[in-house]
Amino acid sequence: MKKNEAKSRIEHLSAELKRHNHNYYVLNSPEITDFQYDLLLLELQELEKMFPEFAQKDSPTVNVGSDLSAKEQFEQFPHKYPMLSLSNTYNIGELEDFSNRISKGTDRPFTLTCELKFDGTAICLTYKKGKLFRALTRGDGTVGDDVTRNVLQIPSIPKQLVEGSNFPDEFEIRGEIYMPYNAFDKLNYQRELDEEQPFANPRNAASGSLKLQDPKQVKDRGLECTLYHLLCEEPVAPTHTQSLEKAKEWGLPVSEHFKECNTVEEVESFITFWDTERKKLPFATDGIVVKVNQLAIQTSLGYTAKSPRWATAYKFKPEEASTKLLSIDYQVGRTGAVTPVANLEPVQLSGTKVKRASLHNADQIKLMDIHIGDYVFVEKGGEIIPKITRVDINRRGFDIVPVEFPQNCPVCGTPLVKDEDEAKHFCPNRDECPPQIKGKFIHFIGRKAMDINAGEATIEQLYGKGYIKQLSDLYKLTEVQLLTLDKWKDKSVANFLKSLEESKKVPFHRLLFAIGIRHIGETTAKNIAQHFKTMDAIAAATREEILAIEEVGEKLADSIIGYFGKPEHLRVIGELKEYGLQMELDNTGKSIESEILKGMTIVISGNFTISRDDMKALIEAHSGKVGSSISGNTTYMVAGEKCGPSKLSKAEKLGVKVIGEEEFMNMLKN
């Protein structure tokens, strides 16, 4: 390769890998598989060895990928010990080379430990005097996001260690927060019902969940944790495995799936065993981590700029299969989004038989040049979601047929529409298209919406029998009608009717979310409800008044105006009001103690004598608005202990007044 070609290729690979790192660590939306990423990284490493003069200072070959969020979202703290990544290989033979390098680096006998590599997001926990003090993400390896409040919602992570178990006064322990398959399925099912983009795999779901702003939402995500690396001033044991046994005695969640090996052959046997057995586990694994067991030897071997010399990871190759694409169905969702779904010749993949796979949208079909009758490669992202990765061109025949995306809704026949900046086609016939009507009801009864005791099957029956067509019809249902449903008896009817009555007490902001205005999520619904106070005020608002709400854009404003501009929607809202549903903010049960903070936006940062949630509730109780970040609209910043320096700096720059907790409390008293 010529020098100018090498320079150009190195620059291209560096830029691409940085982009993929951002997609993976920050956006939780990878475009390529781990295997494809590792191939690009390997190519860059080889080119940098051949042409070191072109290697960039911040090359992905020497820098750890960063998951740091915007400083306004999470406070950030330095790691006491650098939090690096592992080198990896897909070749078992290279483990022999790894062992030989260890032998050359030490004259002492050593053993190797093998552990399952959990496919989650890295976490570093600090315990002081037996209590969980802080939880940091990997960040950029030097600094991490403080996600302690969210980690406290994960049941398997102890807040207090087992008393009397002889743990150090202070130590760090690192591990992986992951999402089991059943929790992942449940989360993605709900996201699909809400017409939200499903997570590609459990790792992305775990990482995204850990960065949620509301700890209560984290609690509902079903996250788990396993810990695998203990760090303290003085080792608690001479070996890694003995340290983990100590951690287990203290009550910390340590994986049971590890083994101490004397030879590389034993390591290979462990890998071979788990390459098959991992498919039976209730969580995702993507490899085996191999470490030197003796801590003194680990210390003597040290680190490279990016990874420890005493550990490496063997990565399992993603399982894929080639099968024939028989046809494509087009499913219509709650908001009218049309999703193409491939029907495949059944093929065995990761222990299950795959018959269908999502094709996402028309652009994706065009990009992969997919035809009906093609043989396509199917892979399970995160070992759970079937996806088509590419066409098997070598098996392409002459009987293939181009895919023609429908111009009309496959259910109601209405011409489809597609915005220039959106990938999906939509059916605009929201009030007459059957799948959209049913989807609207399924969303309405959801736990985060009206929390009505029914499911998808119940909605199917009620709609099929003609009992429901608009949301207010739910409150018109009679016992006689309900007893005609399949397998419904008196108790089922009573439970359903009771939950209908209970739903009338659901707070206004949840009702606003439940009625299914496109682009309104849970948080947005709350912000809009707090701004306008009543449903009537929202219905009467102008586009400019809606756009005045922080974090509300033009699309959402147009969606709200469009929704309340239809007489049939106003009629349904009117009927829901007659049935006693909460149409005003004051009916949420939150008492307004004063209007001292009316018109003010307050941002809080740091720790206070009360919880952060209680601080927010206090602001709202005195008619103030809680801001998520410092801006020109911020009235005060209330700074507690360990206040984020970035927020203080931004407040100073924008001239926002900073007050302490005591001054804030005195303000409320006065």
2 burial level (CB within 10 Å; 0-12, 13-18, 19+): exposed
Q: Determine the average pLDDT of the residues in 37-52.
A: 82
Q: Determine the average pLDDT of the residues in 97-118.
A: 93
What residues have CB less than 8 Å from 644, skipping those under 6 apart? Answer: 71, 72, 75, 76, 605, 606
Q: Which residue's structure tokens are 């931004």?
A: 650
Give me the torsion for CA of 652, 656, 658, 661, rounded to 10°: -150
SS3 532: helix
pLDDT at 644 over 80: no
Question: Side-chain half-sphere of 123: how many Cα atoms within 13 Å?
Answer: 32
pLDDT at 589 over 50: no
pLDDT at 587: 45
- Residue 165's φ and ψ, nearest 5 degrees, are -95, 15
Report residue 30's pLDDT band, with 50, 70 and 90 as the boundaries.
low
Report residue 586's pLDDT band, with 50, 70 and 90 as the boundaries.
low
The residue that leads in pLDDT, 72 or 76, is 76
The residue that leads in pLDDT, 190 or 582, is 582
pLDDT at 550 over 80: no
pLDDT at 591: 56
Q: Which residue's structure tokens are 């990997």?
A: 138
pLDDT at 382: 47
Summarised one tens digit per residue, pLDDT across range 192-232 is 666 566 777 788 889 889 988 888 888 889 999 999 999 99
The residue annotated as part of the active site, out of 3, 80, 117, 533, is 117
Question: Side-chain half-sphere of 639: how many Cα atoms within 13 Å?
Answer: 17
Our measurement of the distance from residue 444's CA atom to the centroid of its chain's CA atoms, rounded to an integer in Å, reads 23
pLDDT at 67 over 70: no
Summarised one tens digit per residue, pLDDT across range 401-451 is 999 999 999 999 999 998 877 788 999 998 899 999 999 999 999 888 999
Question: Side-chain half-sphere of 623: how many Cα atoms within 13 Å?
Answer: 9
pLDDT at 29: 61
Q: Determine the average pLDDT of the residues in 457-480.
A: 95
The residue that leads in pLDDT, 186 or 253, is 253
Q: What percentage of the chain has pLDDT greater than the value 90?
A: 49
**Which range, of 284-293, 329-338, 593-602, averages the lowest pLDDT?**
593-602
In angstroms, the CA 642 to CA 473 distance is 52
* CATH number for domain 3-54, candidates 3.40.50.300, 3.40.710.10, 1.10.287.610, 3.40.50.1820: 1.10.287.610
Residues 119, 284: contact at Cβ < 8 Å?
yes
Annotated active-site residue 117? The verdict is: yes
Summarised one tens digit per residue, pLDDT across range 247-285 is 999 999 999 899 999 999 999 999 999 988 887 888 888
* Straight-line distance from the first to the last Cα atom of the chain, in angstroms, rounded to the nearest whole number: 76
Domain ranges across the chain: 3-54, 76-182+200-315, 320-402, 434-588, 601-669
* CATH number for domain 601-669, candidates 3.40.50.720, 3.30.1360.40, 3.40.50.10190, 3.30.70.120: 3.40.50.10190
pLDDT at 135 over 90: yes
pLDDT at 669: 79
- Under CATH, domain 434-588 is a member of which superfamily? 5' to 3' exonuclease, C-terminal subdomain (1.10.150.20)
Residues 227, 253: contact at Cβ < 8 Å?
yes
Residues 592, 566: contact at Cβ < 8 Å?
no
**Which range, of 64-68, 147-151, 233-237, averages the lowest pLDDT?**
64-68
In angstroms, the CA 284 to CA 384 distance is 9
Residues 532, 541: contact at Cβ < 8 Å?
yes
Q: How, if at all, do strands 352-358 and 601-605 pair?
A: unpaired
The residue that leads in pLDDT, 185 or 247, is 247
In angstroms, the CA 405 to CA 626 distance is 45
Q: Determine the average pLDDT of the residues in 131-160.
A: 92
- Residue 80's φ and ψ, nearest 5 degrees, are -65, -40
Summary mean pLDDT of the chain: 87
Residues 624, 602: contact at Cβ < 8 Å?
yes
Amino acid type, 266: E
Torsion sign over Cα 255, 256, 259, 265? negative
In angstroms, the CA 21 to CA 64 distance is 9
pLDDT at 91: 85
* Number of helical H runs and strand E runs in the chain: 24, 23
pLDDT at 237: 95
Q: Which CATH class is domain 320-402?
A: mainly beta
Report residue 381's pLDDT band, with 50, 70 and 90 as the boundaries.
low
Report residue 133's pLDDT band, with 50, 70 and 90 as the boundaries.
very high
pLDDT at 98 over 60: yes
In angstroms, the CA 595 to CA 592 distance is 8
What does pTM read for this prediction?
0.53
Q: How, if at all, do strands 121-128 and 170-178 pair?
A: antiparallel
Element (H or E) spanning 605, and its range? Answer: strand 601-605
pLDDT at 26: 61
In angstroms, the CA 127 to CA 307 distance is 24
**Which range, of 333-347, 515-529, 586-600, averages the lowest pLDDT?**
586-600
Task: Write out 631-661 in H/E/C secondary structure.
Answer: CCCCCEEEECECCCHHHHHHHHHHCCEEEEH
Q: What percentage of the chain has pLDDT greater than the value 70?
A: 92
Q: Which CATH class is domain 76-182+200-315?
A: alpha beta
pLDDT at 314 over 60: yes
The residue that leads in pLDDT, 571 or 524, is 571
Element (H or E) spanning 248, and its range? Answer: helix 240-249
Number of Cβ atoms within 10 Å of the Cβ of 614? 11
Task: Write out 493-525 in H/E/C secondary structure.
Answer: HHHHHHHHHHHCCCCHHHHHHHCCCCCCCHHHH
Structure tokens at 492: 């089922």
pLDDT at 100 over 60: yes
